[in-house]
Structure formats: C-alpha cells, structure tokens
Amino acid sequence: MAKVGKEGEVALPDDVRETTRLKEGDLLPVEANEDGSITLRLEPSVRDYTEEDLRMFAEQDEMTPTERQRFLAWLGREPHLFGR
C-alpha cells in the first residue's frame, strides 16, 4: 500500500524503493488508465548506464561546455570520463 499525501504525493514502501533502487528526486512516468487504475513505470535511471554507454553519449552530444559541466554536476560523475 502507498499513502497519498495532502498535496497528492505518494509514499512508496521501503521494500519497493529498495528493490527498484529508487532514490529521492527520481522521476516515474505516471499513467491514468481507462479502468481507473494508475500505472507507475520505472524508466532506466542515468545511474544504470555503463561507463561505455556514457562515453558513447558524450561522443555524440552537442552540449556546450557549460551545459556539460552542469550535467556532470547533476550526474555526480567526473568530467574525465567524457574525455573533454
């Protein structure tokens, strides 16, 4: 069971967060279904990408150096992983 707060926030049980490795701030797509049910879908987190994936993304990116630094700070990774 999950409890809905006064502003619509939903608190997921500890075991669900641990099993799915959800962290504070993670985003979950939410869908309202025709039958009245709600679907929360777990999307791959950027934390789940391998170093090889991240290098490939970096090689293909079109970010400015400032955008890249902001992204890396958000990601919590070191710039040297990206070779730039």
Q: Write the pLDDT tens digit of every residue in 34-84.
A: 999 999 887 765 556 777 877 777 777 777 788 877 877 777 765 555 554
Q: What is residue 66's DSSP assignment?
A: H
Q: Which of 59, 57, 51 is nearest to 78 (CA)?
A: 51
> Cβ distance 82 to 72 under 8 Å?
yes
| pLDDT(32) > 90 | yes
Instruction: Note if the pTM is more than 0.75.
Output: no
Alpha helices by DSSP H, listed for 1-84, are 14-20, 51-60, 65-75
How far apart are alpha carbons 11 and 56 in whole angstroms? 35
